[in-house]
Amino acid sequence: MNPNAQTPLTEARLLEMVFPDHTNHLGTLFGGQALAWMDKAAFIAASRYARRTVVTARSEQVDFRVPVRQGQLVEVIARVASVGRSSMQVEVELYAEDLLDAQRELCTSGRFVMIALDAEGKPAAVAELSVA
């Protein structure tokens, strides 16, 4: 894939290790930390797509399915799913992986609405999402 291609990128992936300062008294990932990583991935995916400054408007339907344990690797995958005039709906999935036995599981998923802004901080139009 040509890194200089003009086709907007719609996906971002982040990898994080779950260390003790990311966990609660049960040794599982704080929900707020999971949301922060998910929001960061949504921000990157939306920014890459719009090539503009973006902000988070809201998070929707975040489902915490399985706890993430200290010592696991977390992969956060964010994809621009739909586009309005200035808004982008970004679907985000958070997977946990045990590095020793390679077990991988979807732990958390959600949707974030990101808004593109112009230089004055006002909502700015973004390109239509092409289905290829």
What tens digit of pLDDT does each residue of 8-45 get?
689 999 999 999 999 999 999 999 999 999 999 999 99
- The CATH H-level (homologous superfamily) assignment of domain 11-117 is Hotdog Thioesterase (3.10.129.10)
Across the chain, what does the average pLDDT equal? 93
Alpha-carbon distance of 84 to 126, in angstroms, equals 8
What are the sequence ranges of the domains in the chain? 11-117
Residue 55 has pLDDT above 90, yes or no: yes
* Residue in 112, 26, 38 with CA at minimum distance from that of residue 75: 38
Give percent of the chain above pLDDT 70: 92
- Say which amino acid occupies 17: M
The string of pLDDT tens digits covering residues 57-70 is: 999 999 999 999 99
Report the pLDDT value the prediction gives residue 76, as an integer from 0 to 100: 98
pLDDT band at 1 (very low <50, low <70, confident <90, very high): very low
Q: To the nearest 10°, the Cα dihedral for 90, 96, 101, 103?
A: -60
pTM beyond 0.75:
yes
